[in-house]
Structures are given as structure tokens and as C-alpha cells.
Structure 1
Amino acid sequence: MIIKEISFIILLFLSNNGVAQIREDCSDAPNEQIKEICLRFRRMDKMSREQYERQADNALWPPQAPGSPTFQRPIPIPATHRGNYAYDPLECMSLQCLCPFFNGRMMAPDHCVLPNGEPLKMAYRKEYRMMTDDERFRYHRALQIMKQNGQYDALGRQHRDVSSGGGAHSGPGFLPWHREYLKRFEIQLKMIDPTLALPYWDSTLDNYLPNPRDSILFTDLFIGATDWNGYVTTGPFAYWRTLEGAFALRRNVGAEGNLFNEEQINQVIQQTNVEYVLSYVTQTAGCPYPVNYGAIEYSHGAVHRYINGDFGPVPTSANDPIFYAHHAFVDLIFETWRQLRQPRWVRESAYPPDIASCTNPLHFSYAEMRPFPRLINRDGLSNAYTDQLYRYAPRPTCTLAEPACGSRYLFCDTRGYPHCVAKVRLGGMCNGLEGLDACYNGQCIFGRCVPGPTPAPFKPFIASTTPRPPVVLRASTKKAKGLVTETLRNITNAIRNSAQQNKNKSRTRVVGKEKFVNSTIVTFVDCFDKNPCCETWSLIGECSDNPKYMNLNCPMSCKKCKPSFSILDTCKDRHVSCKQWRSENQCSSSTGSHLSFLQENCRESCGLCRTKKSDTCAIPKRKRKLAEELNIHTNLTKKQSLKKDEINLRRVVA
């Protein structure tokens, strides 16, 4: 008995002692830089907790629907079904789901063929410097088009809005949220050019340089250079207006912070517990987990501070396109840890405990992943991201036997352990790199990169097979000469006709001072009612009386957006995926909200053109007299709910 009491006292002492170690003023941070990042996390966490406390009942219900919703109710969508179909391409989690949005045809469950005959492939994310010049040019062009048509700024506003409240920063939701966010950004890129993939920026490659500010990254070939005031005035993103109204992006490279290093990455990879990867970073008294200043959210924040300017503060960071490449590298580190430390079946379920003293409730595993509809934080752990949508190319490496990195923008530093390093721009510092191919289009003289001959890049010997003898056309006779001439003429005419057809089909977009001709850009307008009763409900005034539900689920009827289809034809399919959904028997097998969407937007494919939508609509008791005056009739009794409404609709389809 005495031993038990002593053990209890010791445990209580250790527990209290552990609680006392958490200092909410960040005074225990190892240095001033980490302290500043810690304080920033604390400020965001404070705003998120205040928002959570002010949160009213945000559950949205249609007129006369039953139920008593709670704020953090799990979304009732089977894990095996998420992302196989979607109303918006940004919600897709498979190529099969994306195929109709690209006007493609599914030839097999994993094979979508685009109108040009090419397959729709998974994105292959390379390091920024490992992209070919053509890939990089097309990536920059797509970003410019997104900036011009407003898609880039729309995504930037989403990130800005969650910086002051939500599960995107300062807690375990950081990595899952940004994984979903990057997926949506990449799909927008592919809607412009289906062959594109989001590159990642491995900033360790720049961190090896004497002065990382002199990296080839900060030139017009990549993210552009700044003027004396720090404004980005050259390169592909020159004079990009920010969300805050500034005439150009601003950076203050190298004034503070630091880039990633291998030690920080290894510290993450070596973790065996999910709580130290999906880390708590804003613990309060009572949290059983200690502060982890080696968390990837901290080290990633130091890179934001290194670029600084718009990229530094969280609310403005998505203004700068380097944001997406930086976070793609963070996601690569996360995926590497998942592959090395977690069995496949654990990856989708392992999430830190929901403890209010460790993080605000918006970071809890079943909390809504705002602002993405129908998602919760743990959805960001799905294997489908890298199973279906994208995969990462290996990080650049080199060896003594093959001292080449595979890119003319990188060189192999063979001093000590061979590793790849970003090349230095002309005029940049190259102290200690003399004799190496460290300068882009130049050489290192007295610690500076100057124009001049560069060492020949190393090319490993590749044994080639014996080439096939060339085909020689012998046209010694007039008949043979005539045949060759006729063949060349036919080929020339075919090329000319094909070019003219492509020119007629193409659309010319002017971006900056350059003209780009592109015939693959796919446009999608997300303006659909999600319930067949939306029109009826809007007529009886529910758009103003029940705005939360109606604005989200009936935006077309409430005139919150302009659809791309004619609203006069109520039978014609309105969504590009209707025919594919019919082929998958979803007209008869779907339930819940997806069934309602099909009844509203796929009436032709689902054979519902002869049924009247208003016949099975629930009308609130207070609006029944108005409905009668408007000649709106329904077959529902007063006690029938929306649940029964959906069952009746399902019987009609079956």
C-alpha cells in the first residue's frame, strides 16, 4: 500500500513537472528564430481557438430535414468511395474521376484517353532544376494563365483565409491540409496542360552554397530576380499583383531564417511515432506531449522566413509561386516518412490523439478540413493521393563514379561525400568551389562566378547497341524519282493540313508580352444545384430564409453563380460525368447527396425526363400556403422527411 502511494506521488510529480515544461511564451526555444516562429504559431492557434469558441451551429440542413447536427460529426462517406466520382474536378482522387472533366474516354479502369489520343497520366513531380527547359516553360506558362484567369488568386485566398483560423497551420492538420491543397492546385495546372506536374523545390541544394541567395533559382530562368527594393521585376512572375494590392511580389532573400538541411530532414524521417510528424506545436498546460522544435512545421517555417517578403507571413505566402514548390518538398518528406515508417494499412488511420490541451479542436482528426467541402482532416492521409494522382521523382544524387546530377542547373560537389548542389548565377559567390562546374555559363575565379569557358559536364559512358544501317533511297530511274517526289509532296501536304486544323481549333492567349497557342485548356464552371428540389425551394423564398444550406447546395437557383449550360432544358445532362456515372450503374446504386445530385443534373442519363422534380419535394409547413399560391404541388405528406424523399427518388430511378 505504501509503495502504491509513493508511486502515485512520483507519477504526480513527474506529470506536474512535465506540464511546467511547456512555456506558452516560447521562452524555451533554442534560438531567436525558432522563438519567432513559435510565437507566430501561438498567435494563429489563439485565433483558431477563439474562432472555435465563437463557432455557432454551422451544420446545414435542407427545409424540413430531420436531425440534430453537431459540429464535428464524421462525414458519412465510405473510405473506399471517396474521390471515385466528384461534381468538381478539384475533389477527384482518381484518374477515372478526372477523365470526363478532360473530355476523355475510359478505355480501362486505369486508362483514360484524351481527345488528342494521349493518355491522362499521373503527375510525376520532379525537383525544379530537374525539369526539362520545355517542361519548365510550360509550367511557368500555366501559372501565368492561372494568374490571368483568376484561378491562382482564388486558391491563394483559400490559404489566406485559413491562416487566421482552421486546421491548416499550427498543429497536426498542417501536413494533411496542404497535401489536399497542393492536389487541387496541381489539378488546376493539368486542366491547362494535362502533361504538367507540380515541381518540388529541394532547398538543401541551395543551402550548400557559400551564399544561397546566389543560386540559379533566383534568376529569370526560374522564379525571377528582385530590384533594389525587393520587388520581383524580372522573370516569369514579374509584376504579379498580390492579393493585398501591391503592384509586384516582394522578397527579402537571406535576411533571416534558413533553408532546409539534411539533418532536419533526417530528424523527421527517423521518427517512429506519428505525434512527432503530424506534430503538436502549440501545447498548453496539461498536454502530455513535450514541445518538438524539430517538427517539420518549424523547419518549413524557417524557409518561409529565408525568402521573406510576401512569402514570409502565412496570410500572404501563397502570393509567391515558390510557395507551391516549397510545400511539394515538405509533402515529399512526409511521404518518404510514410513509406519508410508506416505499413500501408496504418497510413490512412494513424493520427495524433484529439487532445484540446495539445492543439485546438479544428486540428482534431474528425474536424472539417475547411474550406474543402465534405472532407475531414484525416482524409488527407489517404493512400489515393500517391496511388492515383501523383508520385515523386527521386531527389537529385551523384557519386564519385558518376559525378553528374542530370541537370545543367546542378553540379556534383565531390569534396567529401558526393552530393548535388545548385549552380551559382553569374556574379555570385563561389568561394571554395574553384575547379568545379559550379557556375552557370561561367567559371569560378577568385571566389566569383564570371563569364568564361566552363568545365565539360561529366557524361557517364552508356554502351550503345550497333546502329541499324541507314535506309538509302535509290532513285536512279525516272519512275523511282517520281515516286519519291510524290511521297514527299504527300507528307508535306499532310503536315500543312494538320497544322492548319490545329490552328483553327486553337485558342490564342496573351500572357505578359508573349503569345501562347494552346488547344488543350479545359474549362469547368462549378455552378450546379445539388438537389432536385432547389428550384422549388428558391421559389418559396428559402434562399433568403435558409441561406447557409441554399447557398452551398443550391447556388444556381439562388443566383450565386452563372452556369455554363442552359437552364431551360431540364432534361439534358448538365454535368460532364453523367454518362460515365450511368455506365457505372450509379443512377440506381447511389444514395444520399450523390443520388440527389444525379436527379438534378443527370436526368437524361438516369431516365428521369418524364418525372416532375417538384412532386417529391419537402415543403416547410410555414411555406405550404405560398407553395399552393404558386401552383407548386408535392406528393409528400406533412410528416414525410427528406430521408423518405430520397428513398422515393431512388425507387423512381430503379
Structure 2
Amino acid sequence: MFRNASIYDLCTWIHHYSTKPILHNCSYAGMRDFAHQGPAFTTWHRLLLLFLERQIHLLTGDDCFALPFYDWSKDKNCSICSDELLGSNDKKGNILESSSFSSWGAICSHSDSPNNYCQSAARDGYGDTLHRNPGFAKGSSLPTLEDVLNTLNWTVYDAPPYDRTAKNCFRNVLEGFLNPSDGMTFGFEVHNKLHNYMGGTMFEITSSANDPMFIVHHNFIDSIVETWIRRHGVTPGDFPECGLPGQDPLDFMVPFFPRYQNRDLLQTSLAFGYTFSYLPGAV
């Protein structure tokens, strides 16, 4: 099927595609995908942000445009969930009509099965609209500055078995499968904690990129990655050999063209022509 897709639709679809299980030896490889639960988590998402930012440059003719970030470590209850910014919502998670995002269309929603690469139904060409319900999930809260500082202390980038069970390593703590303070206790932390807190579209990882909250969240995650890279003097050579299809250092990041290897993005953002207005936890 073909659709008159926006640049943002394309960005959303790219992320959705990356979340599908990898077909390996004629069977789906469980929880394995190209962008999550492995060493490529940080570098793949960095490339997605660079892709979107560059497409906006080309679309607007403004090469000075830079994606914003949302520093949730200094917030208590999603101050940017307002009509002036990313939209306020009712108790059911519907974005209010007073917001520009009330009719924001969502693609690839509810497409969790391995062979469903983008379910789209039909209303106005979109299968759904944006939903968000900050703090609605029982026990949910925003990650804290202490979480960020503890995450930055882990010196090893990733560790065997290079998945959601890897312990005492920066990537898995940042992605949110480990408690940042001890690097051992499994939980729903940092990156994952924000997705859980926002609920709605953000909670469904396969289609979470539909929400612009995804972009400002991941750009802040990238600022944490940048702080960590500079603090520990990390280079592409520190990207580990893990033996996972699509997530080894020399594997190309799917489905981007031109092609970049996973290890290429594990270096300071200055190599790609951008930096941040400030870096969390920088010393």
C-alpha cells in the first residue's frame, strides 16, 4: 500500500520497523530487534534523531533548526503537557481540542504481532489518534536527577549477554531494565520509566514514536549518552562484539540509507555537528 506520508510518518514507521522481531534461521528471534535490548539502543536512536532533524532542515531550508529536548529529571508532573506545548489531556487520555495535537494522526498502532509491519486503518489515512495520560498508571513517576547521575557512573558500556538481563552496564541501566543505583535489580527505570509514566501512545513501544513526546524524550536520553561518552572518553572501538544479528559493531543500522555501522555513532556528538545547550550531570 502507498500513502501520502509526512516526514514524521516516515520517522514513526522507521522506529516501528526496528521493533519487529528479527527473522533468523527461518524463525523469529524472540525479543531481539534492531534498536532495543542490546548495544545498538543508544546509537540507533541517535541516528533516528539525526535523520529527522536533517529532513526538517531540507523541508524548511533552515539548517540551524535543532530538535528540542525535555529534561524530565527537573520536572514533577510533565510541565510540557500543556496546550501551548505538547498538549493537555482529559482523564481518558484524549488530547484536548484546545491543543494543536488533538487531531494528530498515529500510524502503525496496535501492530505487535511479528508479521504485522504496520497496521493502518483508515480514518483520514491514520489508524488512530494521539493519546497520553501522564501519571495515570498506578505507581508511575518521572525519572529523577539522581537516576541520571547514578546512570552516568556505570563505566562499562554493555555486558554479556547483551540484552535486558545484562547487569552493571551503562546501556541496560539507561534503557531502563536495571535500577540505576545498584545495576543489578530489575525494574522499569530511566528511559522505560518515562514511557510508562506518559502512558497512551508512548506506552506502546512499537508505535510510541507517533507522539512528539518520543522525540523530546529521546533527545534528552541522547544528551545523557553524550555526557557519558565525554566523561569516560568513549570511542567507536568501545562498542562490543555481541553476536546479535543487527547489533554487532560492524552491522549496519536498519533500515537507514546511507548506511551507518552501529559503532559509528558511539562517539561525541561534535563529530556529527551538534551539541547540547547543557549536559545533565556534566562535570
Q: TM-score per shorter chain, which class?
A: 0.7 to 0.9
How many residue pairs were aligned? 230
- 2:85 maps to which of 214, 219, 222: 222
Unaligned runs of 5+ in 2: 22-32, 110-125, 177-189
The one-letter amino acid of 2:275's match is: R
Residues 172 and 279, structure 1, Cα contact 8 Å, conserved in 2: no
Compute the displacement of 1:341 (Å). 1.0
Q: Deviations over 1:349-391 (max 9, x none)?
A: 111232x4xxx332111222100132221122244x4234211
Unaligned runs of 5+ in 1: 1-147, 284-288, 398-654
* 1:101-120 alignment runs, 5 A limit: none
2: CA distance between counterparts of 1:341 and 1:372? Answer: 28
2: CA distance between counterparts of 1:382 and 1:271? Answer: 17
TM-score in terms of structure 1 length: 0.33
For 1:249, the equivalent position in structure 2 comes to 130
* 1:590-629 alignment runs, 5 A limit: none
Residues 230 and 252, structure 1, Cα contact 8 Å, conserved in 2: yes
For 1:350, the equivalent position in structure 2 comes to 238
Select the structure that is richer in helix: 1
1: CA distance between counterparts of 2:161 and 2:82? Answer: 35
Specify whether residues 247 and 168 from structure 1 end up closer, same or farther in structure 2 by C-alpha distance, changes over 3 A only. Answer: closer
- 1:325 maps to which of 216, 223, 230: 216
The one-letter amino acid of 1:180's match is: L
1: CA distance between counterparts of 2:85 and 2:161? Answer: 32
Q: Deviations over 1:588-642 (max 9, x none)?
A: xxxxxxxxxxxxxxxxxxxxxxxxxxxxxxxxxxxxxxxxxxxxxxxxxxxxxxx
* 1:179-328 alignment runs, 5 A limit: 179-191=46-58, 192=60, 193-207=62-76, 212=77, 215-233=78-96, 234-243=98-107, 244=109, 245-256=126-137, 257-275=140-158, 280-283=162-165, 290=167, 295-298=173-176, 299-328=190-219
2: CA distance between counterparts of 1:219 and 1:253? Answer: 11
2: CA distance between counterparts of 1:247 and 1:368? Answer: 32
The one-letter amino acid of 2:218's match is: H
Compute the displacement of 1:150 (Å). 1.0
Higher relative contact order (CA 8 A, sep 6+): 2
Aligned-partner SS, 2:80: helix
The answer as to 2:30 corresponding to 1:152 is no
Specify whether residues 353 and 221 from structure 1 end up closer, same or farther in structure 2 by C-alpha distance, changes over 3 A only. Answer: same
The one-letter amino acid of 2:88's match is: A
The one-letter amino acid of 2:173's match is: A
Compute the displacement of 1:153 (Å). 0.3
For 1:381, the equivalent position in structure 2 comes to 266
Larger of the two Rg values belongs to structure = 1
1: CA distance between counterparts of 2:128 and 2:231? Answer: 45
Specify whether residues 320 and 229 from structure 1 end up closer, same or farther in structure 2 by C-alpha distance, changes over 3 A only. Answer: same
- 1:334 maps to which of 221, 225, 229: 225
Residues 88 and 95, structure 2, Cα contact 8 Å, conserved in 1: yes
Residues 252 and 307, structure 1, Cα contact 8 Å, conserved in 2: yes
Specify whether residues 248 and 290 from structure 1 end up closer, same or farther in structure 2 by C-alpha distance, changes over 3 A only. Answer: closer
Aligned-partner SS, 1:305: helix
Compute the displacement of 1:239 (Å). 0.7
Compute the displacement of 1:281 (Å). 3.1
The answer as to 2:251 corresponding to 1:367 is yes
Specify whether residues 320 and 173 from structure 1 end up closer, same or farther in structure 2 by C-alpha distance, changes over 3 A only. Answer: same
TM-score in terms of structure 2 length: 0.73
2: CA distance between counterparts of 1:206 and 1:279? Answer: 34
The one-letter amino acid of 1:324's match is: I
RMSD: 2.6
2: CA distance between counterparts of 1:380 and 1:389? Answer: 12
2: CA distance between counterparts of 1:153 and 1:297? Answer: 24
The one-letter amino acid of 1:296's match is: L
Residues 239 and 247, structure 1, Cα contact 8 Å, conserved in 2: no
The one-letter amino acid of 1:200's match is: F
Identity of aligned residues (%): 29
* 1:447-466 alignment runs, 5 A limit: none
Compute the displacement of 1:396 (Å). 8.8
Residues 280 and 291, structure 1, Cα contact 8 Å, conserved in 2: no
